[in-house]
Chains A and B, each alone.
Chain A
Amino acid sequence: MAKRGVIKVSGDSEAREAVGEYKAGWHDPENSTIRFDFGLSEEVVRQISELKEEPEWMTDIRVKAFKHFSERPMPTWGNTSMLEEIDFENICYYLKSSDSTERDWEDVPDDIRNTFERLGIPEAEQKWLSGVTAQYESEAVYHSIREDLEKQGVIFLDMDSGLKEYPEIVKKWFCSVIPYSDNKFSALNTAVWSGGSFIYVPEGVHVEMPVQAYFRINAKNMGQFERTLIVADKGSSIHYVEGCTAPSYSTDSLHSAVVELIALPGSHIRYSTIQNWSSNVYNLVTKRGIAHEDAKIEWVDGNIGSKLTMKYPAVILKGEGSHAEVISVAYSGEGQHQDAGAKIHHLASNTTSKILSKSISKNGGRGSYRGMVTVSPKADNCKLNVVCDALILDEGSRSDTYPTMEVANPSARCEHEASVSKVSDDQLFYLMSRGHSEEESLAMIVNGFFEPFTRELPMEYAVELNQLMALEMEGSIG
């Protein structure tokens, strides 16, 4: 979670000087215990699986996925010119820096622990989290869960341990929501996945405090391909929070995750992300959940960093009375393109959905909202609401909206609103007349614009997101 790092690093002038604009952008010397050669082949895929001592069925899926990835062309939509720049041969697909996953921070190797301490993770865990997993490069390095939850049967593990300890649950759900053939990058992830979280919440158990995963890329030209699977059994609930950072290098890194959520009848999953990768990371992520009867899935998705993000959290409303919400914000600064949005499929009757997308572009950045909502012919009395707002901070920045609605059942009630606005001089003057500098005033307007998103976050995250945006506004007034 870069935002946790923001406070600490900004108080430390030396660190601040070292990292420049991007506050989580320092890097540690790379002390890897296992590093694969650059480039990808079936052999590399098999080696990863072998190294992890995986069951054969997983090796088979990996290999099939790799073949699909090799054959599948690049997407022909989105920012194709940026996508073409990805050099799959110049990426390291597996890197391990620590021999094991620890349950005590003291046992995590010093350099890695220092990284997470700079980002404030151990402190956050003590204060307000039910469990934490921290992933460094390809593997989880630290993992903990509160004892009371463990006693109630909640499973919260890194994905590799999940596969080892609960192979039958993993086998049942793995690739059940997002088949490897879904898209080129889900195929890539399935072929080389490592780390990520595995969560199972038993029937009727409510996990009151959020659980958090923290992903960090440290090495240069690294690919991170974490795989997350969350199963909420009947009537249970969980809030999962994910944060990510990477140091700034002159060459690009690739992050391509797959997240599958299964919300069984009456359950509730909320998945919150604050993505603050450095501006040379490709962030190409597939996230999708299935909601059964009366279940609820919410994606709360903030995209602040990365070079190119393509991410459209999706919900399949399979069970009657289920509900989906996708609330997202995107900030695109210089050289960045946030291509984000949402997908919701109403397959059952009396299902409801809400999409709220907010994007800000500045310094020539580009924000795109790409959304799709469908209602199948058999799904009666569905309600859907889509709102997308864009705020453009200067000339030369760009915002596009690509909304699609396919409604095949006439009983559906659809609402769609879109707005594009600019910060007006009068608005700035009003705030400045109350003693706030131009930058502070702009940050107030920007944070206000993001407020419908921020209020959905746990308070610590909300405060830090506001601070992060205030930092982004620094030096923005010409």
Chain B
Amino acid sequence: MPGENTLLEIHDLHVGIDGNEILKGIDLKMGPGEIHAIMGRNGSGKTTTANVIMGHPDFDVEKGDVILEGESLLELEAWERARKGVFLSFQYPQAVPGLQVGNFLRKSVASIRGEDEAKGSVFRKELTSAMESLEIPRSFMSRYVNDGFSGGEKKRFEILQLMLLKPRLAVLDETDSGLDIDGIRTVSEGVNASIRGTDSAALIITHYSRILEHVQPDMVHVLLDGRIVASGGPELATKLEERGYEWLKEE
């Protein structure tokens, strides 16, 4: 039962693709204002978890549930989930040639937050200040969505969308990969500004603990072969950084 303080609940989630089971029973609970991290090696099911929360059609949910604010998301399409407040920062954001960044942002804000929120000087100020904090130049607005972007530009653009779309739940899939130290710091500040002190929550999916130094997670979960094998405070991330994942396998 999701309590008053539960924003997201994942319950015994089993997910497969093309007949192969990838997630083998995941449980997770997050409250408003919390930041959790899921760590794990390649192939452990991290990106699948992110995609299933957002509603990628390729994955089959065989069992379990994903509940946002007391409502199951599983029957909803990705765009409906987005309007309920789910956001995914993609590991590999897709290019859409010909679709201008400025236009896309305005349309996305309009569809998720409502037409009125995407108009006028308030929105323009919001946009300008978010771009400044992410050190994104104005010329960005007339470029095409992710078309010819560097790895770092793509990640900053994802966080810009996070800041403007103001989701209840932000899932960040490997947002730190492809970023240098300064990039990680900038992006982390964006995440902190969007979540800390609000009633939203973020689930950070990562390989390394670097980003977690800047975004202090409330909880760290370790994913291994489709199962969460350990959960703990931020110290768990440090331990993984020092000792790797092998010791968990042995336990």
Contact = CB atoms under 8 A, between A and B. Distances in A.
B27 to A, nearest CB: 24
Interface string B134-172: 000000000011000000000000000100010000000
A435 B96 contact: no
Given A434-B108, A435-B112, A448-B144, A426 B82 contact: no
B57 A425 contact: yes
Contact of B107 (A426, A432, A436): A436
Interface in A415-447: 424-427, 429-438, 440-441, 444-445, 447
Contacts of A431: 94, 96
Contact of B87 (A425, A433, A449, A450): A433
Interface string B86-110: 0110101111111110001001100
Given A425-B58, A435-B112, A449 B97 contact: yes
Contacts of B87: 433
A449 to B, nearest CB: 6
Given A433-B87, A434-B165, A450 B111 contact: no
Contacts, number: 82
Interface in B40-99: 54-58, 77-79, 81-83, 87-88, 90, 92-99
B98 A429 contact: no
B130 to A, nearest CB: 15
B97 A448 contact: yes
Contacts of A440: 79, 111
Interface in A434-478: 434-438, 440-441, 444-445, 447-452
B79 A448 contact: no
A427 B98 contact: no
B101 to A, nearest CB: 11
B111 A436 contact: yes
Q: B58, B77, B78 — which one has the most chain A CB atoms within 10 A of its CB?
A: B78
A447 B97 CA distance: 9
Contacts of B88: 433
Interface in B152-208: 161, 165
B98 A448 contact: yes
B99 A432 contact: no
B99 A445 contact: yes
A436 B96 contact: no
B98 A432 contact: no
Given A434-B165, A435-B108, A436-B107, A444 B79 contact: no
Given A444-B104, A448-B99, A451-B99, A432 B78 contact: yes
Contact of B94 (A427, A451, A452): A427
Interface size, B (range)? 20 to 34
B222 to A, nearest CB: 26
Contact of B78 (A424, A433, A445, A451): A433
A437 B99 contact: no
Given A424-B94, A445-B96, A447-B99, A433 B111 contact: no
Contacts of A435: 79, 82-83, 108, 111-112, 165
Contacts of B90: 430, 433
Interface in A33-75: none
Q: A431, A435, A445 — which one has the most chain B CB atoms within 10 A of its CB?
A: A435
Contact of B77 (A427, A432, A450): A432
A446 to B, nearest CB: 9
A429 B56 contact: yes
B93 A434 contact: no
Nearest to B90: A430
Given A429-B56, A435-B108, A444 B78 contact: no
A160 B210 CA distance: 76
Contacts of A450: 98
Given A436-B111, A445-B96, A447-B98, A429 B82 contact: no
B79 A430 contact: no
Contacts of A448: 96-99, 144-145
Contacts of B77: 432, 437-438
B56 A434 contact: no
A431 B93 CA distance: 10
A132 B226 CA distance: 67
A445 B87 CA distance: 20
A431 B146 CA distance: 12
Contacts of A451: 97-100, 144
Contacts of A429: 54, 56-57, 78, 94
Contacts of B161: 434
A450 B97 CA distance: 9
Contacts of B95: 427
Nearest to B94: A430
A161 B78 CA distance: 59
Contacts of B108: 434-436
Nearest to B88: A433
Contact of B79 (A425, A433, A447): A433
Contacts of A449: 97-98
Contacts of A444: 96, 99, 104, 107
8 smallest CB-CB distances across A and B, nearest first, come from A448-B98, A451-B98, A435-B111, A448-B99, A430-B94, A435-B112, A435-B82, A432-B78
17 contacts: A427-B95, A429-B56, A430-B90, A430-B93, A431-B94, A432-B78, A433-B81, A433-B82, A433-B88, A434-B108, A435-B79, A440-B79, A440-B111, A444-B99, A445-B99, A447-B98, A451-B98
Given A433-B54, A433-B90, A444-B104, 18 more contacts: A424-B94, A426-B92, A426-B94, A427-B96, A429-B78, A430-B94, A431-B94, A432-B77, A432-B78, A433-B55, A434-B82, A434-B108, A435-B82, A436-B107, A440-B111, A441-B79, A447-B99, A450-B98
Interface of B: 54-58, 77-79, 81-83, 87-88, 90, 92-100, 104, 107-108, 111-112, 144-145, 161, 165
Interface of A: 424-427, 429-438, 440-441, 444-445, 447-452
